[in-house]
Structure 1
Amino acid sequence: MAESVIIGLTGPTGAGKSTVAGILGALGCAVIDCDRTARQVLVDCEPCVRELRQEFGDDIVAENGSVDRALLARRAFSSHEKTRRLNEITHPWILRRVRREIDGWKAEGREFIIVDAPLLFESGAEKLCDRILAVITPLPVRLERIIRRDNIDREMALSRIRAQQEDAYYTERSDACLRGDEDPGELRRQAAALLERWRR
């Protein structure tokens, strides 16, 4: 049996990464959603939550034991230093789980495993991957998508975009790029062609 090919999927917010992940899933790839894994870590990883409480305050955990993600986000994104601490605490636990998920899909004999991670490079998850695929989209399209998706105003959407890296950060570190504003049929055709090229 051929060895699995691990593909890191990344890109800035609103670029269409979720759409591409959906297309890759429909093409038969196993997809690991790192955002979902990160949320799960906040639910059931006690050592991680303990560290977060020490750093961001006991009140980030409600009486029922669940992490108040909105309060944690407000505190963690209040400065670059705080954001860095959040990532230092959570990323090792998230990566541990992603490795386990990769191993599970490998054991099932999946040919392609997608690691869908907005912070692929920042978390070090790219080291787990054989290939990197970035999704980028022109700024006006991203802006409209974020406003619509998150139901926020233009200024808030712009602040989210400014908090992220430029397109070049992703494209220069990737083996291939897809445009997230392409027609879905064309996007599927391009994704299928990439998988054919990257087949072991």
Structure 2
Amino acid sequence: MSKLVIGLTGPTGAGKSTVAQAFERAGCEIIDADLVARQAVTDEKCLAALKAEFGNDIVQDGVLNRRLLAQRAFSSEKGAAKLNSITHPVIMGMVKNQIASIKTSGAKAVVLDAALLFESGADSLCDTTVAVTAPVEIRLNRIMNRDGISKELAEARIGAQKGNSYYNERARYRLDGVMNRDDIQTAVNRLLEQIIGDYT
């Protein structure tokens, strides 16, 4: 049987990265869509399109100012959608290549960690999907602490994304991102065995 590709998603601050680490400890190979996106914006065509949309000053001395780009792109749903339309085709191509190379490894499964799994259509590259969600208040505090930003900026980021129900309705499996690290590991170990069992 071909190696399973599991799409992992959820809104910002829900605990998706912690769950991804748990999948890695359980023997899975992780593809981090954020890391792929960082590589994608070094692509010349992609960078040119971003400058045209969000301003030439997002690139200073040949280096992309990610914070400035994020500030402009995530201040509205329209901005976020535009950013995604520019970067996603490049990201998708890179993700496909990574999946192909991991499928020959000894990993239990491939986990594609992507906040915009459904919006980007990247779920089409996956055999199944897992959503990690958490209440808005918890997510707000996590984002402020993680990124060192104001409550207003954190609220703008949350506002530019879909609510928990969007992810829960679309994903086949669900995980609670409020659990502590040990409980998350136990839940992920159990879920991985369940998914492998469901698809073999």
TM-score (norm 2): 0.91
2:177 counterpart of 1:180: yes
Task: Report deviation, 1:109.
Answer: 4.3
Q: Which amino acid aligns with 1:55?
A: E
Equivalence for 2:148: 151
Equivalence for 2:163: 166
Distance (whole Å) between structure 1 residues aligned to residue 106 and residue 120 of structure 2: 26
CA shift in 2, pair 1:76/1:141, >3 Å: closer
Equivalence for 2:28: 29
* Aligned 8 A contact 1:3 1:111 in 2: no
Distance (whole Å) between structure 1 residues aligned to residue 152 and residue 71 of structure 2: 17
TM-score (norm 1): 0.91
Equivalence for 1:112: 109
2:88 counterpart of 1:91: yes
* Aligned 8 A contact 2:74 2:156 in 1: no
Aligned with 2:20: secondary structure? helix
Q: Which amino acid aligns with 2:189?
A: A
Task: Report deviation, 1:78.
Answer: 4.2
Distance (whole Å) between structure 2 residues aligned to residue 188 and residue 167 of structure 1: 21
Instruction: Give a deviation string over 1:84-141, Cα, whole Å, max 9, x none.
Output: 2211110000111011111110122433000000111111111101110000112222
Aligned with 2:60: secondary structure? coil
Distance (whole Å) between structure 1 residues aligned to residue 99 and residue 106 of structure 2: 11
Equivalence for 1:50: 48
What residue ranges of structure 1 are gaps of 5+ in the alignment?
A: none
Distance (whole Å) between structure 2 residues aligned to residue 70 and residue 143 of structure 1: 18
Q: Which amino acid aligns with 1:114?
A: V
CA shift in 2, pair 1:184/1:79, >3 Å: closer
2:195 counterpart of 1:198: yes
Distance (whole Å) between structure 1 residues aligned to residue 189 and residue 48 of structure 2: 43
CA shift in 2, pair 1:158/1:72, >3 Å: closer
Distance (whole Å) between structure 1 residues aligned to residue 108 and residue 123 of structure 2: 18
Equivalence for 2:5: 6
CA shift in 2, pair 1:156/1:68, >3 Å: closer
CA shift in 2, pair 1:59/1:10, >3 Å: same
Distance (whole Å) between structure 2 residues aligned to residue 32 and residue 153 of structure 1: 30
The number of residues matched between the two structures is 197
What residue ranges of structure 2 are gaps of 5+ in the alignment?
A: none
Aligned with 1:147: secondary structure? helix
Q: Which amino acid aligns with 1:149?
A: R
| Identical columns (%) | 46
Task: Report deviation, 1:59.
Answer: 2.8
